[in-house]
Amino acid sequence: MATCALCKSDKLLKESHTIPKFVFDRIKENSPTGFLRGGFLNPNQRKQDGDKIKMLCEVCEQKFSQAEKEFAENVFKPYHELGKTSFSYGSWLSYFISSVNWRTLHLDNIGFHSKKEWSDDVLCVLDDAETMLADFLLGKKPDIGDMENHILPLFEITGASPELKNIEPNFLFRTSAFGYTFFVPGLDGFYVFANLAGVLIFTVIRKGKNDVWENTLVQPGDGIIAPPVQHKSPLMANIMELLIKCSKVKISQAQKDKIIESLKANPQVPQAKAVEIREWDKKLRDGTIC
């Protein structure tokens, strides 16, 4: 028995994925080896599943399941399997984004308070945001107040700076799942973010002064996601810096040998989606597309 992070009741807790399981299942399905790697900074760890933690009771875990199913069927699957660029959605999308980013914010807030690196004003903003998201997820509030949810499905990246071209951005985004809380107090920008194998979801707690968010806003009810979209914020710059940093972490020869063995044992390697995505990055580097 322990305290559920969402409803605060003392109950038996379930092991909850911090990012939904279907995302990791897709990454493994797209992989020639059928395995995950232990994150950008630990590529030598081979894994079967994403991170899980005892956080939610059974009732709260089930609250998230229907929105996850709707997102998987109506956005995530068409994006990966059909290359769709436009999606219709209902109130489930805002709920889904809130549920994923609330998990990240809750765990990050524990660390922020423990380390005591930030001012009380910063911690207050983040605590209030966590409470607002929790109240919305529990049905105590009709929406997330002044905060905004946004979504940005990434499609084939055909133009980038020389530095970004060399890190295989298509591959890094499409074959990873991660999220974190980011803020720039000087610009007054506070964000929670997750990359779901190429579908970026954001909860904007407070926009930065020079932010641009066009055609990415998720309405509380029904709506349509459609290009063209434009996003500019300190968060996106930070994500790119993270990808550049992680691209410098190299995989060991022992793990390379294991990958080669897996490839030899898999006759469907030429059809693997990861191979196709690497071709996108090769064209990006060669400048054969613009």
pLDDT of residue 233: 92
Angle between helices 120-137 and 91-115 (to 10 degrees): 150
Mean pLDDT by 10 residues, the chain (290 residues): 93 91 88 54 54 91 95 96 92 98 97 92 96 98 97 88 85 90 88 96 95 95 92 91 78 56 57 77 74
Q: What is the pTM of this model?
A: 0.87
156, 178 contact by CB (below 8 A): no
User: What's the number of CA atoms in the CB half-sphere (13 Å) around residue 156?
Assistant: 17
Structural contact between residues 204 and 147, judged by C-beta atoms closer than 8 angstroms = yes
Percent composition of the chain: helix, strand, coil (DSSP 3-state, to 5): 45, 20, 35
| H runs (alpha helix) in 73-143 | 77-82, 91-115, 120-137
Question: b/e per residue, 87-96, with b = 16+ CB within 10 A?
Answer: bebebbbbbb
Alpha-carbon span 278 to 273, nearest angstrom = 9
What is the model's pLDDT at position 205?
Answer: 97
Backbone φ and ψ of 54, nearest 5°: -75, 105
The alpha carbon dihedral of 117, 119, 120, 126 has a sign of negative
pLDDT at 290: 39
What is the predicted pLDDT for the residue at 113?
95
- Rounded Cα–Cα distance for residues 130 and 242 (Å): 24
